[in-house]
């Protein structure tokens, strides 16, 4: 008897062998929903418009153009859309005017807290009844909001609860921005943890991650309008572009477009597998744009913007956490240059009904060790809010959410 010197073969679990069936379109290709159903669209809001269009609309409503700037201040600086608070506007016709420019977009249905109040998950009802969530997190020196860009998601990734629920509709730019405005209000009212613990810095949302519900690049124009409002110092929220992260499954043409926008946001690619064989099953959009194409587009993003790119990698036990995959990922990244990318592995968060679990600690450590051996900076992503189903991949409108939403009257 001889001992086998090679590494014992690890099990290979795949979505299909685990009983997951990929939904197919009429042509038999993996189902992807790019087009948004037209139902339930929200009214146009100041944040949907460019500064010039805002002035135009204000004039149409019979007010002098300078009132646009007053509304911007009320909304973006003070986070209010309440006419009663706007005493610098003439009382006559004020209510109608403000509702015309700043119609209420989000009705708060529910709020869940954890981490001693430092993490809050909001459930919002949109016009037409669609539900979305955002997650607000206080860290030392920064406050991050994880925003949704679509109600549901059309990308159908088997390990993500949102992806399994399908796409309800795109969110408007103003609905995306409203999540930040509302969060800023909550912070200003002292409802996010204990600010004294971290000193007085950062009493507004400082960082945004487009990692809530939806595929941001499938709702490109609205997401970009929202980003323009977030970074606009004079007519918007005045945030830093670097603090805004856009995360995508890898819609290559949209990544190219994003590289040319001239807004240096942080770019993250949800890769999850370095080989097409597995990625075809884990990320159905891989049927359109392969691993190498997505990585080339990510590299181009770095070249055009100078911003280091993040690769996201949810570590799933025996599915994508093999040592050879870490090696292959390291090789593919290094083949495209050095110093342009870092990897963010994240232990899989459980989703309802899913049989997959996070990698073991040993597999995770080995995965990181191998990437580092290739010289790739690697940081395990901290995940918040698991106990309130507020972590990555866990955002989905449950039946209880739907019931609560039904019982909540729309805000006026
Ligand atoms: N559609 C975009 C953004 C939303 S998801 C995208 O896919 O990038 C944000 C991140 O959470 C993505 O990297 C996604 O792959 C990851 N994710 C999804 N489900 C997860 C789960 N169950 N556990 C951990 N991460 C998950």
The answer to whether position 52 is within a domain reads yes
- Measured by CA distance, the residue closest to atom 17 of ligand 1 is 393
Ligand 1 center to 286 CA (angstroms): 15
Buried b (16+ CB within 10 A) or exposed e, 271-280: bbbbeeebbb
- Closest atom of ligand 1 to 247 CA is 8
With a CB cutoff of 8 Å and minimum separation 6, the contacts of 113 are: 119, 120, 121, 388
Q: What is the CA(57)–ligand 1 centre distance, in A? A: 38
Q: For the chain, how big is the Rg over CA atoms in Å? A: 22
Eight-state DSSP code of residue 30: B
Domain shared by 123 and 86, yes or no: no
What's the confidence (pLDDT) of residue 309?
Answer: 98
User: How many domains does the chain contain in total?
Assistant: 2
Is 39 strand, coil or helix?
A: coil
Condensed to tens digits (0 to 9), the pLDDT of residues 268-301 reads 999 999 999 999 999 999 999 999 999 999 999 9
Tokens of 112: 């869940």
Residue identified by tokens 């135009």 is: 56
Query: Does 90 share its domain with 129?
Result: no
List the beta strands (DSSP E) in 184-223.
207-210
- Start-to-end CA distance of the chain, whole Å, equals 79
The answer on 127 and 64 residing in a single domain is: no
| Rounded-to-5 percentages of helix, strand, coil across the chain | 40, 15, 45
The C-alpha atoms of residue 314 and residue 373 are separated, in whole angstroms, by 20
Asked whether residue 80 falls in the same domain as residue 149, the answer is: no
pLDDT of residue 198: 55
Host domain of residue 82: 46-101
Q: Is residue 411 part of a domain?
A: no
- The domain spanning residue 135 has which CATH number? 3.20.20.70
Please tell me whether residues 255 and 399 are part of one structural domain. yes
Asked if 55 and 183 count as a contact pair (C-beta separation under 8 A), the reply is no
> Would you give per-residue pLDDT tens digits along the chain (412 residues)?
444 444 557 888 888 766 778 888 888 888 899 888 777 899 999 999 999 999 999 999 999 999 999 999 999 999 999 999 999 999 999 999 999 999 999 999 999 999 889 999 999 999 999 999 999 999 988 999 999 999 999 999 989 988 888 999 999 999 999 999 999 999 998 899 876 655 544 489 999 999 999 999 999 999 999 999 999 999 999 999 999 999 999 999 999 999 999 999 999 999 999 999 999 999 999 999 999 999 999 999 999 999 999 999 999 999 999 999 999 999 999 999 999 999 999 999 888 777 789 999 999 999 999 999 999 999 998 778 888 787 777 887 788 888 888 888 887 6
How do 131-139 and 119-125 pair as beta strands? antiparallel
What phi and psi, each to the nearest 5 degrees, are found at residue 284? Answer: -50, -25
- Would you say the CB of residue 58 lies under 6 angstroms from ligand 1? no
Report the distance separating Cα 79 and Cα 70, nearest Å: 12
pLDDT attached to residue 30: 85
Regarding the beta carbon of 392 and ligand 1, being less than 6 Å apart is answered: yes
Q: What pLDDT sits at residue 394?
A: 82
> Left, alpha or beta for 232 (phi > 0: left; psi -120 to 50: alpha)?
beta
Please name the residue that has the structure tokens 């009257």.
409
Largest CA distance in the chain: 95
Q: Which of 56, 75, 101 is the last residue of a domain?
A: 101
Question: Among residues 85, 101, 117, which one ends one of the domains?
Answer: 101
Q: Whose CA is nearest to atom 25 of ligand 1?
A: 392
Residues 344 and 366 in one domain: yes
Dihedral of the alpha carbons of 111, 136, 248, 172, in degrees to the nearest 10: 60
Catalytic residue ranges: 133, 392
Is 28 part of a structural domain of the chain? Answer: no
Could you tell me if 348 and 383 are in contact, meaning their C-beta atoms sit under 8 angstroms apart? no
Tell me the whole-structure pTM to 2 decimals.
0.94
CATH number assigned to the domain comprising residue 95: 1.10.150
Answer left, alpha or beta for residue 141, where phi above 0 means left and psi between -120 and 50 means alpha: left
- Dump pLDDT digits (tens) for 324-335: 999 999 999 999
């Amino acid at each position: 008897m001889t001992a086998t010197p090679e590494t014992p073969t690890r099990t290979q679990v795949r979505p299909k062998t685990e009983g997951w069936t990929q939904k197919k379109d009429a042509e038999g290709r993996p189902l992807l929903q790019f087009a948004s159903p037209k139902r339930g669209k929200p009214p146009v809001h100041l944040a949907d418009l460019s500064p010039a269009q805002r002035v135009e609309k204000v004039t149409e409503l019979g007010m002098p153009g300078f009132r646009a700037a007053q509304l911007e201040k009320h909304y973006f600086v003070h986070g209010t859309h309440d006419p009663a608070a706007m005493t610098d506007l003439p009382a006559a016709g004020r209510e109608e005017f403000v509702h015309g420019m700043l119609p209420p977009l989000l009705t708060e249905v529910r709020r869940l807290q954890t981490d001693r109040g430092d993490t809050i998950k909001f459930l919002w009802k949109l016009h037409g009844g669609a539900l979305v969530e955002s997650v607000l997190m206080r860290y030392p020196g920064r406050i991050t909001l994880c925003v949704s860009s679509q109600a549901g998601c059309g990308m159908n990734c088997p390990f993500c609860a949102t992806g399994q629920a399908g796409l309800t509709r795109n969110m408007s730019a103003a609905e995306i921005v409203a999540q930040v405005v509302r969060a800023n209000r909550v912070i200003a009212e002292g409802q996010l943890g204990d600010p004294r613990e971290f000193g007085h810095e950062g009493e507004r949302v400082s960082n945004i991650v487009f990692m809530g519900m939806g595929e941001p690049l499938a709702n490109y124009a609205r997401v970009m309008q929202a980003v323009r409002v977030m970074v606009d110092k004079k007519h918007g929220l005045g945030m830093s572009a670097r603090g805004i992260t856009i995360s995508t499954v890898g819609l290559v043409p949209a990544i190219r477009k994003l590289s040319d926008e001239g807004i240096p946001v942080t770019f993250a690619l949800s890769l999850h597998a370095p080989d097409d064989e597995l990625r075809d099953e884990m990320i159905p959009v891989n049927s359109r744009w392969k691993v190498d194409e997505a990585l080339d587009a990510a590299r181009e993003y770095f070249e055009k913007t100078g911003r280091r790119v993040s690769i996201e990698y949810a570590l799933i036990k025996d599915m994508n956490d093999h040592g050879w995959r870490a090696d292959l990922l390291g090789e593919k990244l290094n083949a495209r240059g050095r110093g342009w990318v870092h990897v963010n592995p994240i232990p899989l968060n459980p989703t309802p009904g899913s049989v997959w679990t996070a990698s073991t600690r040993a597999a995770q450590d080995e995965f990181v060790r191998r990437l580092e051996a290739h010289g790739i900076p690697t940081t395990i992503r901290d995940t918040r809010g698991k106990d309130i189903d507020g972590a990555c991949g866990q955002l989905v409108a449950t039946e209880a959410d739907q019931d609560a939403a039904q019982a909540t009257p729309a805000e006026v």
